[in-house]
Amino acid sequence: MKKINHKLANKIPVLAAIIFAVVGLLATQVTTFGLSTIIHRFLPVFPEQTNPIVVVAVAFLALFLYKLWFRPEYTGSVVYSEYKKVWVLLAAYALFFAYGVTELVISHEPYKLTFNGFCMALFAGTLEEVVFRGYMIPVMMRKKKSIAVALFVSSGVFGLVHGANGLAGAGFGITVLQVFTSFALGIVLGGMYLLSGNLLIPIAIHTIHDILAIGMQGAVTETGVMKTTVTAATLLAQIPLVILLTVTLLFIFNKKNMETIYSVWEKKWKLSEE
């Protein structure tokens, strides 16, 4: 099998990462639409609410195609995993998550998670991690291996994409806030992927996060759009996320932890076999 010459990935990995994200997102959506149409035609009992499950299947197929694109260099999204350091970030997120649940319980927010809402959380958690972490981070860690570039570019694009919620009915202020919160969460999820080398970890955390948001936050619709306005209370509510973001950045850019990240990604990319 002829090996592909990755000129763009070699010279401008950031641009290659962005192209992978855009093309991957569009291709996944188009493929999902086609498969869902076929399924509903031959299996009309298949409910439309389960379309996100088709997205999940297509997203994992896309990861396999990504691995083939970089054959035989790239070992894949879930191999050569390292869990000794990522547990620190998982513990920090668990505290953040527990605080969010406690706050919602105290405020007597009704639990409104539906099957459709669960499917949407699974859809977003999988597709967004595959596109913005699974596609973008590996190519930026391929040769130059700049942890800062891989982390901030992938999280920046992830945050900016959520600006599209303004077109779905969210106000300007809350859209800007959601861009920031998505960026911050992207840093946390990206850090987990960089430290562990296993994309299943940020997929699981992202899905859990969205289940909480959709199921317990009254201002969040089933499609993930925030229907509220920016107030002093909403700004103060971001303090735990800012703390989580700060802890994540300090932990990732610790010298020893950076060495762990480099080691993980050296194993994930077999460039010496070129």
Q: Which helix (H) or strand (E) holds 168?
A: none
- pLDDT computed for residue 273 by the predictor: 45
- pLDDT computed for residue 106 by the predictor: 82
pLDDT in tens, the chain (274 residues): 566 788 899 999 999 999 999 999 888 888 887 887 787 777 766 666 567 778 888 889 999 999 999 988 999 998 777 888 999 999 999 999 998 888 877 876 666 777 777 888 888 899 999 999 999 999 999 987 799 999 999 999 999 998 876 665 667 777 888 899 999 999 999 999 999 999 999 999 999 998 887 766 555 555 555 556 667 777 888 899 999 999 999 999 999 999 999 999 999 998 754 4
- pLDDT computed for residue 166 by the predictor: 65
- pLDDT computed for residue 93 by the predictor: 96
Local structure of 72: helix, strand or coil: coil
- pLDDT computed for residue 2 by the predictor: 61
- pLDDT computed for residue 149 by the predictor: 96
Global pTM value: 0.90
Q: Which class for 230: exposed (0-12), middle (13-18), buried (19 or more C-beta within 10 A)?
A: middle
Alpha-carbon gap, residue 160 to 18, rounded angstroms: 12
Q: Which helix (H) or strand (E) holds 152?
A: helix 147-161
- pLDDT computed for residue 175 by the predictor: 83
Instruction: Kindly state the tokens that stand for 149.
Output: 């570039």
| Residue in the block written with tokens 């945050």 | 159
- pLDDT computed for residue 121 by the predictor: 85
- pLDDT computed for residue 37 by the predictor: 78
Number of other residues whose CB lies within 10 A of the CB of residue 75: 16
Under 8 Å between Cβ of 17 and 135: yes
- pLDDT computed for residue 225 by the predictor: 57
Alpha-carbon gap, residue 267 to 238, rounded angstroms: 37
Instruction: Kindly state the tokens that stand for 185.
Output: 């969460």
Alpha-carbon gap, residue 148 to 140, rounded angstroms: 10
